[in-house]
Amino acid sequence: MSRTDALQGSLDLLVLKILSRRGPLHGYAIMTAIEEISSDVLRVEEGSLYPALHRMEETGLVRAKWVEKESGRRARSYELTAQGRKQLESEEARWVAVTGAVQRVLRLA
Amino acid sequence: MRSLLRQLFYLGRRGRFDAELDKEVEFHIQTRAEELQEAGLTPAAALAQARREFGSGARMREESRAAWQWRWVEDLFADLRYAARSLRRNPGFAITAIACLTLGIGANTTMFSITKEVLFSRPSVRAPETMVHMEIGGNSHAPIREFRFLRDSHFFEALAGENEEQEVNWRHAGATERLHGVRVSDNFFAVTGIPVALGRPIQAGEETAAVLSHDLWERRMGADPAVVGGTMVLDGRVYTIAGVLPRDHRTLLGFGFAPDLYLTVPGEGGLLALFARLPDGMTRHVAIEKLRAACAALDRAYPDPDHKWVENIRVSAVAGVARVRGDEKVMVVAAFFGVLMVVVGLVLGIACANVASLLLARASSRSQELAIRLSIGAGRGRLVRQLLAESLLLALAGMAGGLGVNVALTAFLSRIRLPLPLPFQFLIEPDWTLLAYAGAVALGTCLVAGLLPAIQSVRSALQAALSRHEPRSRTRLRNALVAGQLAVSTVLLCAGLLFLRNLMQSYRMSPGFDVAQTMWSQMRVVPEAYKEPAKLRALAEAGLERVRGLPGVESAALARVVPLNINLRMGVSVRTDVSGRPVHIQYNLNYVTPDYFRTMGIPLVRGREFLAADRAGAPAVVIVNETVARALFGQTDPIGHYIRFDWGPSQVVGVARNSKYFTLGEESAMAIYEPYSRMSEHRADVQFLIRSKGRPEGLTAAVNAALGRLDPTAALETKPMSQALVFALLPSRFGGAVLGSMGLLGLGLASIGLYGVLLYSVSRRTREIGVRVAIGASPRNVLWLVLRHSFGLVGVGLAIGIALGVLAVKPLALFLIPEVNASGAGNFLVVGASMCAIALLATLSPVVRALRVDPVAALRQE
């Protein structure tokens, strides 16, 4: 079974949520966070994560900068912007509405 | 908006972006590898697995990049680079296409520059939009007294006057030269704000000051800055040279009028055209009302029962489109230039068609490449855009070349002084409007020449690659292009040939008087020194005596009007003693001395020349031309009869052969001659006409010496009649030159197109020719086959072209002399024959090449 199908294009929403809860993170950390919290049900493809991050950066939902890690290496860390926060709210509300509707149909159809 | 800025920002740092993305990816892989190491793998295995898990970076990199890119700009640059590479690989094609476009765009932009300068030139005044030209009382100029009244009554904030048809005699270094000047009121420069390059403008209160044109200062004073502040003798008075105008000075009159100098008005006499500066916001309607009030006051101050200044008032703009629209004479000139623009537009159209067929031919050779790209998923629109990038590159190169041609041509034109009675000089300078126009033309060219071939090639790429056979639709398009080109160049050639014939005819044509042995000497005296007409008459007669006495002179005479340069037209109602009915006639009037007809070589079919006895006080006599004789007297011999004018009867003593009086194009105009001594006009110039025994050039010096000694302050200009006629021939010369060269240009371009297309189509048929030869066709059969195809094409193009040409030349007949028949079949035959000849030449080379092909090689060729 392809686990990535489960994400259904809601990658952006998950990334924004994680950044809002856990503060600035780099790409790898975001990926592991999603997998951890969902108990490996959701697995993010690197090939879709970075394009998504760059897309969100271009539209202004997140802000990126290079930080020095203890190991001496430099990582690109992403942070939520005010516009991103607003987008997160609306996306989350939409998601809840849609899934609620799907559940109702499944239950009562 | 902000994302736009970000995208622009990204464009600049693309290289760095890629490097940073790589680092980001590297960090990700390293972190994962560390995790795996902690889980127990060796460093090398951990790294390898981490990389494997990450997967192919290429797609991810591209998608990340895509989030930042301004897609179509990036694509455009990539396409242009690709196009540049492929053009470099096909230099022959590129050079041909760029050459065609250079010629087309160059001709087009040059005509644009000329039209803009002639019709829309901006006078060198401050804020020309607020200046207006005012005409009162139906006159173009007002007397000085009236001008001063209007100026001092301050109806308008600032009112200045100028008179542009002034000539002055300039005496320097013992010789006298005639200059063309503009007389201006002393506040003219202050009101108009015309800048000077050296010195200062004419100031209020000055009575004898002059400002020189840059050209005069350069040509005749050696560009010496020391002359500013010095003096010059003009018409016998000493004028201060106040300043020198800049080189790019443009007058209020416009149209390239380039006077030699501006000078003050002398004393009380004279007329001035009125120019006013309107205060901000005042419209022309309000200005007209104010002017009306001002003229009413003027009429009250200087009442005149015959003439009211308040009638027939006109206020017109001084620059730009408003000026063109306001004046019918200018509209005619504008129409003429409109025709020229259409003509060069057609030439450009031919160039575009050329390039289009070249592109089509090239696309065929790339059909395989296009097919592959289509099959791996490239969008059709994307491919069309790429092909368009190629034509954009060609168009840009053509634009650069065309602008170069433009600048060179207009610089050359700006140096020529047109041979007209008034000094005109084009001052064409390239500016941003030219660039904008050239850019628009180039873009249009790119689309016109490139779009259809691009769409066609992509549409048929798959099909073409599979079947190796050119799709019929593309062949049809290309054939249509060639036929269209031929048609348009046929039309151009018809018009061009017509004008060239007109030109040649007008050289050969006799204007009715002798041009080979006659000379014209024009003397202008200082008006103040000759206030009584008797003094000038005495001078003229003395001059005539002297000239007649020179060796090599057969005869000499005086005339008020020299034909084909200016004319005096009269329109009156007359009666004759043969029939009492009043007849309205319009005729050319001239005052001539005895010996005029002998000097000019105009035969008198009946009667005699004027005699010395036919002067003022004696009974009035006239000589008429054949047209007048026929109109007034029919078949009767007019000699001895009388024509009754409003001012009294005149006896007809001679009938002269018809000749041309004002233009070469006129037909059977009327003319009446009166004795010179009866002329009552007060003039400052005398026209001597001289017939030489041999060549007239040899007499110039002698005539100048003889007449010059009469009055050293008078300006003298002597030239053979053939030179004097340049002005009369100017329109047909200009038209012949422009249209003839356009016709040839169009023909040249079409020939290139025809050659290219035929070459290509024959080469596509090499295989077929090989098969035919292999199964036994003779070279003649093959030749016939190919010729049939190309002549079919040429035939269609010619037929359309000649049909259009017949329609197109009809309106051109207006510009031609009557001896040249616009719709004559001969013209079209010549054009048809030359097109066929070119087609033959264009076909022969590829055919010969095809015949030489080895049939076996042709069969194998793909």
pLDDT at residue B498, rounded to an integer: 76
pLDDT of residue B467: 63
Average pLDDT taken over every residue of chain B:
82
Sign of CA dihedral A27, A28, A30, A31: positive
pLDDT band at residue A100 under the 50/70/90 scheme: very high
Q: Is B68 exposed, middle or buried (0-12, 13-18, 19+ CB in 10 A)?
A: buried
Q: Is the pLDDT of residue A31 over 80?
A: yes
Closest CA–CA distance from residue A50 to any residue of chain B (Å) = 6
pLDDT at B677 over 90: no
Shortest CB distance from B55 goes to which of A47, A74, A75?
A47
Contacts of A27 in chain B (CB under 8 A): 24, 28
Residue A3 has pLDDT above 50, yes or no: no
Answer yes or no: do B53 and A46 touch at CB < 8 A.
yes
Q: What's residue A83's pLDDT?
A: 92
Who among A28, A47, A57 is closest to B32 (CB)? A28
Of the partner residues A51, A57, A59, the one whose CB lies closest to the CB of residue B63: A51
pLDDT tens, B552-572? 899 999 999 888 877 788 888
Best mutation target among B63, B69, B70 (most A Cβ atoms within 10 Å) is B63
Cα–Cα distance list, B776 to B24, B769, B772, B851 (Å): 72, 11, 6, 13
What pLDDT is recorded for position A9? 65
Residue A60 has pLDDT above 60, yes or no: yes
Predicted local confidence at residue B724, as pLDDT: 77
Confidence of residue A4 (pLDDT cuts 50, 70, 90): very low
Q: Average of pLDDT values for B349-375?
A: 78
- Beta carbons of B713 and B177 less than 8 angstroms apart: no
- Greater pLDDT, B691 or B747: B691
B21 touches chain A (CB under 8 A): yes
Distance CA A65, CA B744 (A): 67
| Total residues belonging to chain A | 109
Show residues of chain B in contact with A12, CB under 8 Å: none
Across A31-45, B46-60, B748-762, least confident range: B748-762
Q: State how far residue B381 is from chain A, nearest Cα, in angstroms.
A: 25
Average pLDDT of span B1-19: 70
Q: Do A51 and B56 touch (CB under 8 A)?
A: no
Does A6 score more than 60 pLDDT? no
Residue of B nearest to A47 (CA): B60
Integer Cα distance of B726 and B565 in angstroms? 9
**pLDDT greater than 70 at residue B6:** no
Of A46, A51, A76, nearest to B55 by CB-CB distance is A46
pLDDT band at B221 (very low <50, low <70, confident <90, very high): confident
Region B736-758 average pLDDT = 73
Q: Span B839-857, mean pLDDT?
A: 71
The residue in chain A having the minimum alpha-carbon distance to the alpha carbon of residue B53 is: A46
Q: Which residues of B are less than 8 Å from A26 in CB distance?
A: 24, 27-28
| B chain contacts of residue A62, beta-carbon cutoff 8 Å | none
CA atoms within 13 Å, Cβ hemisphere of B250: 21
Chain A partners within 8 Å of B22 (Cβ): none
Coil, helix or strand at residue B114: helix
DSSP character string of B361-412? HHHHHTHHHHHHHHHTT--HHHHHHHHHHHHHHHHHHHHHHHHHHHHHHHHH
Count, residues in chain B: 862
**Which pLDDT value is given to residue A2?**
41
Of B2, B24, B59, nearest to A76 by CB-CB distance is B24
Stretch B664-688: mean pLDDT:
85
Lowest mean pLDDT among B425-439, B502-516, B530-544: B502-516
What does DSSP assign to residue B204? T
Residue for token digits 């030159």? B737
Measured between beta carbons, the chain B residues lying within 8 angstroms of A45 are 55
Of B11-25, B431-445, B532-546, the least confident: B11-25
Interface test with B, best of A58, A61, A69, A73 (most B CBs within 10 A): A58
Nearest-CA distance B386 → chain A (Å)? 26
Residue B419 pLDDT level (bands cut at 50, 70, 90): low
Interface test with A, best of B7, B8, B23, B24 (most A CBs within 10 A): B24
Q: Identify which of A27, A51, A55 has the shortest CB distance to residue B28.
A: A27
Flag whether residue B371 sits within 8 Å of chain A, measured between CB atoms. no
pLDDT at A1: 36
Q: Percentage of residues in chain B with pLDDT exceeding 90?
A: 10
Q: In B, which residues are within 8 Å of A57 by CB distance?
A: 67
B351 Cβ contact partners less than 8 Å away, ≥ 6 residues apart: B100, B101, B103, B104, B105, B445, B749
Interchain contact B635–A (C-beta under 8 A): no
Q: What are phi and psi of B663, to 5 degrees?
A: -130, 155
Of B519, B529, B521, B520, nearest to B684 by C-alpha is B529
User: Does B19 reach chain A within 8 Å, measured CB to CB?
Assistant: no
CA-based nearest residue to B197, from B218, B175, B220, B176: B218
Q: How far is B68 from chain A, CA to nearest CA, in Å? A: 6
pLDDT at B202 over 80: yes
Taking the CB of residue B63, how many other CB atoms lie within 10 A of it? Answer: 16
| Residue, of B266 and A52, whose pLDDT is higher | A52
Closest-CA residue to B731 (of B564, B611, B485, B860): B564
Cα angle for residues B454, B460, B465 (degrees, 5° grid)? 115
Q: What is the mean pLDDT of residues B749-773?
A: 72
| Mean pLDDT along residues A25-51 | 87
Stronger pLDDT, B659 or B810, i.e. the higher one: B659
Interchain contact A83–B (C-beta under 8 A): no
- B64 touching A (Cβ < 8 Å): yes
Of the ranges B405-419, B578-592, B827-841, the best mean pLDDT one: B578-592
**Is A54 in CB contact (< 8 Å) with chain B?**
yes
pLDDT value at B728 more than 70: no
Asked if the C-beta of A36 comes within 8 angstroms of chain B's C-beta atoms, the answer is: no
* Average pLDDT score over residue span B401-416: 87
User: Residue B674 half-sphere exposure, CB side, CA atoms within 13 Å?
Assistant: 19
Cα separation, B477 vs B447, in Å, equals: 16
- Is B35 exposed, middle or buried (CB count within 10 Å of its CB: 0-12, 13-18, 19+)? middle
B20 vs A contacts (CB less than 8 Å): 76
**Pairwise CA distance, residues B107 & B348, whole Å:** 8
Contact B711, B525 (CB under 8 A): yes
- Which residue in B60, B62, B71 has the most chain A C-beta atoms within 10 A of its own C-beta, making it the best mutation to test that interface? B60
- Identify all chain A residues contacting B54, using CB atoms and an 8 Å cutoff: 46
* CB contact B3 to A (< 8 Å): yes
* Average pLDDT of the residues in A84-107: 92
Chain B contact for A58 (CB, 8 A cutoff): yes
Q: What is the pLDDT of residue B675?
A: 92
Give the residue from chain B lying closest to A69, CA to CA.
B27
Contact status, residue B717 vs residue B178, Cβ threshold 8 Å: yes
* Entry pTM: 0.68
CA nearest neighbour of B498 among B702, B648, B343, B287: B343
Name the more confident of B746 and B421: B746
Contact between A60 and B3 using a beta-carbon 8 Å cutoff: yes
* Helix H or strand E segment including B171: strand B158-172
Touching check for A50 and chain B: CB below 8 Å?
A: yes
Q: Under an 8 A CB cutoff, do B64 and A50 touch?
A: yes
Residue that wins the pLDDT comparison between A48 and B467? A48
Give the pLDDT band (50/70/90) at residue A7.
Answer: low
B177 pLDDT higher than 90: no
Q: How far is B379 from chain A (nearest CA, A)?
A: 22
Element (H, E) at B573: strand B569-576
Is B68 in Cβ contact with A73 (below 8 Å)? no
Range 65-104 of B in CB contact (< 8 A) with A: 65-68
pLDDT value at position B223?
Answer: 85
Distance CA B382, CA B370 (A): 11
